Structure 1
Amino acid sequence: MRHFTIFASRNDTGDIPGLIAEVFADGYKIDGNSGEYVIQPRKWFNKNKMVIRVASEDTDPDYFANNIPGMMGFYDRIPFEDEQLKRLVLTQISVINTMLAIETDKDYDEAYLTLFQGLLRGVDGIGFIPDGTLADYDGRVIVHPDGRSGNAEFRPRACTRKIRGEEQVSAEGEQRKQETIAYLQSRNIPYIEGLPQLPPLADLHFKPREEIARRAVALLLVIQYACYILQDEGVEQSRQFVTEMLDKYGVTNALTENEADLLQQEEPEHQDAVNISWQYEAYWVLIWALGLVESLEFPNQTCDCDFAIQAVSSCDSFEEFLGKTSPRRPEEILDEADRNYRLHWACVNSRIKGESAPAGMNESIVMERRRALFWLIGSEGEEWDHISLDT
């Protein structure tokens, strides 16, 4: 085999370059920058060069968003002979945020495997072999590809940034999770038990009514600007109009960094405009949370854009808009957050397998709804542009 991947849950990756230098100090030349290290043996008769690519959720969020759900699905489908071990493995995968992907020019031998195990111990991770074998930090097998247990005394390990441990488990969270699973079963939508609970109400920090309203108005206005860009309408005229509307409603300070950046770009990036235009679905959740939309229908149809615009444009001031709102109960918002969290997993899992999203869902709608819902519940204190959308 020529591939060996190490996964871990870590607060940062700052010590990994030093660890690589330490493990390969004897007999190897190391060249690398920006998270990729080329390691060349100095011995005459060993030409098996290797490349180690280091990535984290901070440096490569798309990798983790696209691949970790598939990894969870893969091990969820394996018939473990020990169901408790299966739960432990799925828990470990759910908190992975760091990867060291190792590729060698030729098949590696036991000597190289020993070096890889040095990296494993150093990052306190798990090792993934292409045939599906999982190894613990000490090199002992956790589980074989056919589900047989190895001899590792395995326990999940998670950093403080990713921990979803016992303190996050609650009767309330489990009840909410099981109610969502019943909903998924009623629609024949796949799910996995290993996807963690969301925290209970008491551990969350729900956004107040006025903050939600300001976020909604600012977002709608910048979405309109993004749509003008995509329709090739005059950028300067559109920018001026939107800027004036932001001032009129007094919500300029409610723009996110990404939104403000789009407004300031002399020649707006097309993809930036596309990304923000899709947030109509996130805005729709915000006005639902404010009681202006009756219900969130199944995510297979885009929202009513005319109604979405009218909700704000019919008001002459922010105060008039705020006066029309009647916020929903936190319990209702958290129920929707849990539902979209598990719907998102189902969408990503299907995409990884090359299949259409189940039950006709649109993954982009689900993802943007989740962004808004997780922001509303104050998930991990993340700001709008940086809501973690991993599953």
Structure 2
Amino acid sequence: MRHFTIFASRNDTGDVPGLIAEIFADGYKIDGGPGEYVVQQRKWFNKNKMVIRVASEDTDPDYFANNVPGMMGFYDRIPFEDEQLKRLVLTQISVINTMLAIETEKDYDEAYLTLFRGLLRGVDGIGFFPDGTLADHDGRIIVHPDGRSGNAEFRPRACTRKIRGEERVSAEGEQRKLATIAYLREMNIPWNEGLPQLPPLADLRFKSGEEIARRAVALLLVIQYACDVLQDEDLEQSRQFVTGMLDKYGVTAALTENEVELLQQEEPEHQDAVNISWQYEAYWALIWALGLVERLDFPSQACDCDFAIQAVSSCGSLEQFMERTAVRRPEEILDEADRIYRLHWACVNSRVKGESAPAGMNESIVMERRRALFWLIGCGDESWDHVRMDT
């Protein structure tokens, strides 16, 4: 192989030139910089010149805007044998903002790989091999291209800049955060004081009633197809029914990339169907926002699937469905988003400690509810398939 790429989440890249100089101090000549370094062995023979290109969101924002979603999609499609590991990998990719792309003139050997691992440790990143293998900051395998787990005990790493972004502290955000913490204290659920505020109302782009309705109907229909996949139903018949209903309600354009892919797969991936079937819980949050569900109960029990289906199936058109809705106030939706954000942290904190989620929470329900609520408030303006789940 001639390529090895290191991705990381870092506040800045100011120390990278010094790190490269340190790693290649013995027997190498380094030219160039900043941004591109040519590293050449001082030996007369068996030279293997390499080029190290360094980029960050500051120096090359278009690269990260264009490639991180593709990388997310690539690993989302891999059938991980450990679904939790998949979530951790996707979380890590979502906060990447630094890249060291290494290209060697000839295939590199173990000696070169040892040097690459030194860079990997130095920037505290993940290593990407051309075949899709991922390595952790110590060079241990996280996941193989076929989804098999490696021997790394992997945990995502995110810099404060990516976690907090350009955090805007506001009295409104602080009041909302403190109200959620009071709720958590009453429920005896741990919280993290350092978890930032959500943006104030004025900084968010809430979805319209029609956007929510279209997303909800499209999602429900694809969920039905995903359930048929899992139950080994006649998929051609199911596909025709679902696509027909999407046309009937006029919501085909509201499908996400992942949903379109599931419908188009000749032999749908089992895990893809599982992932979408769990989104019943996200759909439930959508119809709550539309006023069709009275309240969002504590995320410990699955939603009422029969009621969820009836909410749409009892309507002959999207217009009739929308006539029954009354979109909740943005303040109410943002309050729920703040609450689920901090409940998610409590779930992750317990999982990292090897403990059960507090108060009987189901983390999968929490995550799907967060997906919907963060999409509803337009947090980060992220697409449905790529709502960040960092805590």
**Structure 2-normalised TM-score?**
0.66
**Aligned counterparts of 2:327 and 2:347: Cα–Cα separation in 1:** 29
2:58 is matched with which residue? Answer: none
CA distance in 1: counterparts of 2:321 and 2:27, whole angstroms? 66
| Matched-pair contact (CA < 8 Å) for 1:230–1:274 | yes
**SS in structure 2 at match of 1:199:** coil
Query: CA contact under 8 A between 2:23 and 2:119: conserved in structure 1?
Result: no
Counterpart check, 1:214 vs 2:220: no
Determine whether 1:233 maps to 2:233.
yes
Structure 2: which 5+ runs fail to align?
1-6, 29-40, 44-53, 55-63, 76-83, 101-109, 125-136, 139-157
Name 2:46's counterpart in structure 1: none
- Give the distance between the partners of 2:120 and 2:215, measured in 1 at CA: 48
- 1:331 aligned partner, one-letter code: E
Structure 1 unaligned residues grouped into runs of 5+:
1-5, 30-40, 44-53, 70-94, 106-111, 122-128, 131-155
Task: Give per-residue Cα distances to partners, 1:233-289, cap 9 Å, x unaligned.
Answer: 011110000000000000000000000000000000000000000000000000000
CA separation in 2, counterparts of 1:325 and 1:64? Answer: 36
Change in Cα spacing, 1:67 to 1:252, as seen in structure 2 (3 Å) is closer
For the residue of structure 1 that corresponds to 2:24, the secondary structure is coil
* Aligned equivalents of 2:222, 2:120: Cα separation in 1: 50
Q: Where in structure 2 are the equivalents of 1:180-195 lying within 5 Å?
A: 180-195=180-195
Residue 9 of structure 1: CA displacement? Answer: 2.9
Give matches, 1:40-79, under 5 Å: 66=88
Q: Give, in whole Å, the separation in 1 of the partners of 2:172 and 2:182.
A: 15
- Output the CA distance in 2 between the equivalents of 1:220 and 1:257: 15
Q: Name the CA distance, whole Å, in 1 between partners of 2:9 and 2:273.
A: 34
The 8 Å contact of residues 163 and 390 in structure 2, kept in 1 or not, is answered as no
TM-superposed deviation, 1:28:
6.2
Deviations 1:123-156 (A, max 9, x none): xxxxxx99xxxxxxxxxxxxxxxxxxxxxxxxx9
- 1:246 equivalent in structure 2: 246
SS in 1 for 2:276: helix
Equivalent residue for 1:82?
none
For residues 64 and 316 of structure 1, the distance between their equivalents in structure 2, rounded to whole angstroms, comes to: 39
Match of 2:57 in 1: none
Letter in 2 for 1:242: V
**Corresponding residue number in structure 1 for 2:60:** none
Does 2:357 correspond to 1:357?
A: yes
Letter of the 1:347 counterpart: C
SS in 1 for 2:196: coil
Does residue 1:24 correspond to 2:31, yes or no? no
What CA distance in whole angstroms lies between the structure 2 residues aligned with 1:165 and 1:281?
30
Q: Give the match for residue 164 of structure 1.
A: 165
Q: CA RMSD in A?
A: 4.2
Shift of 1:22: 5.1
Cα deviation per residue 1:158-184 (whole Å; 9 max; x = unaligned)?
65x655345x11010011001000000
Q: TM-score, normalization: structure 1?
A: 0.66
**Structure 1 CA distance for aligned equivalents of residues 211 and 89 of structure 2:** 34
**2:266 match:** 266
Residue 173 of structure 1 aligns with which residue? Answer: 173
What is aligned with 1:369? 369
Q: Is the 8 A contact 2:256 2:385 kept in 1?
A: yes
Cα distance between partner residues in 2 of 1:354 and 1:283: 29
- Asked if 2 retains the 8 angstrom alpha-carbon contact of 1:65 and 1:390, the reply is no
Q: Deviations over 1:73-112 (max 9, x none)?
A: xxxxxxxxxxxxxxxxxxxxxx886699xxxx9xxxxxx9
Alignment: residue pair count = 298
Structure 1 residues 243 and 67: CA distance shift in structure 2, 3 A:
closer
